[in-house]
């Protein structure tokens, strides 16, 4: 009996369900395929990271005595699709059965549904238990809830896992330390240098392949400093826990020119590809708290992201897909401005966030949510266009995590399934949390007129334009009362200014 075990590019975990009970005659299949590498124009660092991590993982498996059939992108006969490679490999190895782990994306799950008939052998799809909340568990939690709120899910996950719990109660007596986690970075503050990794020969080969095949995609391929093995990813995690976690909470929402990583984990590509597991990164943070090496606000804030948001977002994805991506509650219909791909804008906050993204295939959460995301929402960009951008440009981007974050959290396209109000802000927020406004051509203090910060009038125009959908939202009551006081002429002037600004933004690049 020979079982073919198909491991996808984001399943690089030795304990993954598809590898359990592997027998001596079994073969592991891994394949670099054009379809996955080009369903969006991925950032070159993202492709290089994943292909290099896949090749290293295959070598690791071979080192453990496992037979691996690894199909490189340019291998003779490579069909360019996961299904095509699976069918070829079943024939090549005369496999009696196929075992795989459920994929991260419904598109791939639909593909897997065709495999048994096409291959003529039984196909077993196993649960991906690297997640701390399974798909059925999330569905059970969500049943009968009209709206899904992170806070309640997160508390249930803390109770279920016992992480940061003392005698059945949250450590420190509170579930939430968010209020302490909103500090801007002090002036002349030096952030410690981040541990990055020098590409080995294998990674350099992959970098050259990516340069030839995907070098025209948005994003700089080098310098390339990502960890590509589990051993390196563990070093990156240790570096984070020792040198950055203690200040993670304090500066979680801060932004600073030239400091792309600040005190963030910079571990999402490793978690999402499987080089690290959610459980071990949570345990590492909790151990730092237990050893007095990191304060509670930092560790709780970090746990909220991994145990809370990451699992919650994945739960929403599988609960609502497919179909979720088609909603457009605010009827947003503008094309994506060209500057998202070129970085060519006078709005310094956007230029910095997009520049960090181009250089690093990374921007931290607040840059994604409150700069590039906030602008797309205020501008009324078509959800599918901004979603494609986020899916392409970040090394950690996969449909299951990008889509609910962008469609739901940023664009409010689901009408508030995940958040009680849209995350919109004027320039004031960006000014408070960053140094971007100091070097901007626009004046953040000016609300309208020549030289005014566009976020300021876009903010009010967004609320006016979307009043039919949002006016009844009690969390926006203050804003709509303020708008009432503006009077009709001022409101019309704000709308005219915003629409003229948006109409003038080029979308071709």
Interface with ligand SF4 (CB under 6 A): 347-349, 427, 430-431, 436-437, 440, 442, 444, 453-455
| Shortest Å, Cβ 133 to ligand DLZ | 17
- Give every CB contact of residue 223 below 8 A, 6+ residues apart in sequence: 196
Q: Is 410 in the site for ligand FAD (CB under 6 A)?
A: yes
Considering only 14-22, 31-39, 244-252, 451-459, which stretch makes contact with ligand DLZ by CB under 6 A?
31-39
Part of the chain binding ligand DLZ (CB under 6 A), chosen from 32-40, 195-203, 248-256, 407-415: 32-40
CB-neighbour burial class of residue 466 (10 A; exposed 0-12, middle 13-18, buried 19+) = buried
One character per residue 255-294, x = contact with ligand FAD (rule: CB under 6 A): ---------xxxxx--xx----------------------
Contact region with ligand DLZ (CB under 6 A), list: 100-108, 212-220, 427-435, 436-444 = 100-108
Instruction: Report whether 75 contacts 92 (CB < 8 A).
Output: no
How many CA atoms are closer than 13 Å to the CA of 420, on its beta-carbon side?
A: 8
Q: Which partner, ligand DLZ, ligand SF4, ligand FAD, none, binds residue 436 by CB below 5 to 8 Å per kind?
A: ligand SF4
Bridge partners (DSSP) listed for residue 452: 443
Helix (H, G, I), strand (E, B) or coil at 45: helix
Q: What is the CB neighbour count within 10 angstroms for residue 243?
A: 15
Choose the one of ligand FAD, ligand DLZ, ligand SF4, none that binds residue 348, judging by a C-beta under 5 to 8 angstroms depending on kind: ligand SF4
Neighbours of 24 (CB within 10 A): 8
Decide: helix, strand or coil at residue 296.
helix
32 makes contact with ligand DLZ (CB under 6 A): yes
Distances (CA, A) of 465 to 300, 419, 461, 489: 38, 20, 6, 15
Least separation in angstroms between residue 281's CB and ligand FAD is 7
Nearer to ligand SF4, 325 or 431 (CB): 431
Q: Tell how far CA 35 is from the center of its chain.
A: 21
- Taking the least distance from each CB to ligand FAD, the nearer of 27 and 286 is 286
Q: Answer with the entry of ligand FAD, ligand DLZ, ligand SF4, none that 108 interacts with (C-beta below 5 to 8 A by kind).
A: ligand DLZ
- Residues in region 391-450 near ligand DLZ by CB under 6 A: 398
| Contact assessment for residue 403 and residue 317, using Cβ atoms and an 8 Å cutoff | yes
Minimum CB distance to ligand DLZ smaller for 5 or for 42 = 42
d(CA 245, CA 239): 9
For position 356 contacting ligand DLZ by CB under 6 A, the verdict is no
State yes or no: cis peptide before 147, omega within 30 of 0. no
Please select the residue that binds ligand DLZ; options are 29, 33, 123, 266, rule is CB under 6 A.
Answer: 33
SS3 content of the chain, % helix, strand, coil (to 5): 55, 5, 40
Q: What is the DSSP string of 212-265?
A: HHHTTSSS---S-----SHHHHHHHHHHHHHHTHHHHTTTTT---TT-SSTTS-
Tell me which residue has its CB nearest to ligand FAD.
265
309 near ligand FAD (CB under 6 A): yes
Q: To the nearest whole angstrom, how small is the minimum distance from the Cβ of residue 413 to ligand DLZ? A: 21
Give yes or no for residue 230 binding ligand FAD (CB under 6 A). no
Q: DSSP string covering 309-365, please? A: IIHHHHHHHHHHTTTGGG--TT---BPPPTHHHH---S-HHHHHHHHHHHHHS---H
Q: Does 387 bind ligand DLZ (CB under 6 A)?
A: no
Cβ proximity to ligand SF4, 387 vs 431, nearer residue: 431
Q: How many helices (H) and strands (E) does the chain have?
A: 24, 7
8 binds ligand DLZ (CB under 6 A): yes
Beta carbon nearer to ligand FAD, 125 or 401: 401
Nearer to ligand FAD, 85 or 102 (CB): 102
C-alpha 171/C-alpha 174 separation (Å) is 7
**Per-residue binding letters, 91-120, with ligand FAD (x by CB under 6 A):** ------------------------------
Minimum Å gap between C-beta 47 and ligand DLZ is 5
Closest CA to 9 of 406, 274, 299: 274
Interacting residue ranges for ligand FAD, rule: CB under 6 A: 264-268, 271-272, 305-306, 309-310, 313, 364-365, 368-369, 373, 390, 394, 396-397, 401-402, 405-406, 409-410
Interacting residue ranges for ligand DLZ, rule: CB under 6 A: 8-10, 31-33, 36-37, 42, 47, 50, 103-105, 108, 398
């Amino acid at each position: 009996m020979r079982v073919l075990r198909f491991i996808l590019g984001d399943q690089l975990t030795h304990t993954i369900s598809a590898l359990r009970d592997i027998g001596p005659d079994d073969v592991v299949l891994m394949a670099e395929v054009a379809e996955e590498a080009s369903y969006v124009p991925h950032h070159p660092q993202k492709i290089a990271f994943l292909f290099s991590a896949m090749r290293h993982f295959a070598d690791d498996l071979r080192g453990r005595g496992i037979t691996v059939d690894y199909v490189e992108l340019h291998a003779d006969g490579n069909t360019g699709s996961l299904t095509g490679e699976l069918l070829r490999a079943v024939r090549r190895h005369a496999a009696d059965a196929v075992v795989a782990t459920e994929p991260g994306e419904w598109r791939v799950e639909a593909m897997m549904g065709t495999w048994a008939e096409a291959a003529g052998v039984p196909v077993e799809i196993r649960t991906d238990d690297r997640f701390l909340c399974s798909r059925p568990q999330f569905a059970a939690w969500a049943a009968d809830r009209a709206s899904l709120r992170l806070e309640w899910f997160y508390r249930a996950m803390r109770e279920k896992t016992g992480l940061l719990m003392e005698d059945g109660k949250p450590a420190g007596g509170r579930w939430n330390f968010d209020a302490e986690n909103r500090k801007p970075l002090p002036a002349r503050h030096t952030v410690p240098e981040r541990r990055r990794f020098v590409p080995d020969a294998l990674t350099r080969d992959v970098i050259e392949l990516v340069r030839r095949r995907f070098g025209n995609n948005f994003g700089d391929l080098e310098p390339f400093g990502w960890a590509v093995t589990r051993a390196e990813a563990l070093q990156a995690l240790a570096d984070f826990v020792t040198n950055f976690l203690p200040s993670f909470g304090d500066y979680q929402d801060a932004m600073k020119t030239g400091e792309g990583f600040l005190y963030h984990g910079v571990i999402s590509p490793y978690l999402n590809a499987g080089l690290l597991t959610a459980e071990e990164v949570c345990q590492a943070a909790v151990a730092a708290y237990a050893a007095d090496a990191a304060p509670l606000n930092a560790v709780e804030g970090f746990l909220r992201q991994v145990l809370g948001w990451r699992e919650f977002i994945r739960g929403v994805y599988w609960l609502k897909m497919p179909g979720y991506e088609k909603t457009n509650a605010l009827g947003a219909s503008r094309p994506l401005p060209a500057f998202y791909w070129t970085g060519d804008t006078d709005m310094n906050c956007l230029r910095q966030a997009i520049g960090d993204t181009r250089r690093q295939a990374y921007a931290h959460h607040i840059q994604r949510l409150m700069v590039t995301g906030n602008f797309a929402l205020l501008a009324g960009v078509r959800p599918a266009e901004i979603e494609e951008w986020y899916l392409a440009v970040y090394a950690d981007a996969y449909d299951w995590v990008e889509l609910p974050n962008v469609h739901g959290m940023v664009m409010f396209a689901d009408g508030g399934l995940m958040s009680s109000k849209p995350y919109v802000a004027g320039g004031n927020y960006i000014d408070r949390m960053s140094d971007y406004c100091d070097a901007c051509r626009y004046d953040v203090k000016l609300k309208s007129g020549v030289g005014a910060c566009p976020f300021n009038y876009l903010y009010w125009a967004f609320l006016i334009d979307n009043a039919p959908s949002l006016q009844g939202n009690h969390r926006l009551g203050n804003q709509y009362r303020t708008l009432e006081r503006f009077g009709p002429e001022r409101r019309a002037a704000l709308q005219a200014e915003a629409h003229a600004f948006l109409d003038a933004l080029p979308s071709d690049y």
